[in-house]
Amino acid sequence: MAVGLSARLFPLAILGVLVTSGCGGAPTAPRSDETFYLHGGGVIDKNKSWEVYFPPFDREKNLNLPRYVGVGVLGGDVRFSRPIDWTLRDADYSPERRFISYQSPRQFTFAILERVDPEQDTWAEVLRRYETETRAQGAKVLAARQPIGTGNSQGRAYLLKTVVNGKPAPFNAFSTEILVRNDKRVLLVQVLHKEDFDQIADEVAVAVSSLVVY
């Protein structure tokens, strides 16, 4: 399992590098008065919009992937393309703990969480801190530090397995987590999925490779 999913992360890295090298500089940061994208349901707060709509990041559907819509999240500090049929699960924009989480109908969740790491820390120190925190929470690291590129940042991907004490018996939970960093901030992209990642790899790859961080 670890070998198969680890290998599947390499197309993600290649796609990310192509996006990074071809972007020609990041666009201007999102404005707060842009048109809101009306995601369905309003499941966490129907009176608040957690996304800002950005048409340049839209992508038409093809034989393998759904239509993607461009959005700005975390108060405009992050923009990316996501499938239009993802639904909003949860979000919190409180300072130093901002995150947004989506549910895909392909049976996985996708979350972007802002980390608070000292600006002066090296990339290696950020990675070691994350790995220590992850193991302390009981997760087993099956693959680590796979290079990933996003729209304007570098990243490192991990495959994790956690034993969950469920009923009638414990079960294994899997996640692919990607630390993303540039000179502005550090993010954690967290994908909770079934053991077989291959079925969703292309869908996740588009979202991750499009990520632009301000």
Report the mean per-residue pLDDT for the chain: 81
Q: So what's the pLDDT on residue 161?
A: 94
Q: So what's the pLDDT on residue 49?
A: 76
Residue bearing the bigger pLDDT, 90 or 6 = 90
- Decide if pLDDT at 160 tops 60: yes
Q: What pLDDT, in 10s, does the model give residues 29-42?
A: 444 444 343 444 44
Distance CA 112, CA 26 (A): 19
Counting DSSP H helices and E strands in the chain, the numbers are: 3, 11
Q: What pLDDT, in 10s, does the model give residues 62-74?
A: 999 999 999 999 9
Look up the pTM and report it: 0.82
- Decide if pLDDT at 5 tops 80: no
Sequence-ordered list of residues with C-beta below 8 angstroms from that of 79, at least 6 positions apart, any chain: 30, 52, 54, 57, 70, 71, 72, 73, 211, 212, 214
DSSP string, 127-139: HHHHHHHHHHTT-
Q: So what's the pLDDT on residue 45?
A: 57
Q: What pLDDT, in 10s, does the model give residues 191-213?
A: 999 888 899 999 999 999 999 99
- Domain edges within the chain: 2-213
Q: What pLDDT, in 10s, does the model give residues 79-99?
A: 999 999 999 999 999 998 899
Of all residues in the chain, the percent with pLDDT exceeding 70 is 78
Q: What pLDDT, in 10s, does the model give residues 41-60?
A: 444 455 567 888 888 899 99
CB atoms closer than 10 angstroms to residue 147: 15
Sequence-ordered list of residues with C-beta below 8 angstroms from that of 18, at least 6 positions apart, any chain: 149, 209
Q: So what's the pLDDT on residue 65?
A: 94
What residue spans of the chain are helical by DSSP H?
2-22, 123-136, 198-209
- The widest CA-to-CA distance across the chain, in whole angstroms, is 53
Q: So what's the pLDDT on residue 70?
A: 93
Four-way CATH pick for 2-213: 3.40.50.720, 3.50.50.60, 3.40.1000.10, 1.10.10.10: 3.40.1000.10
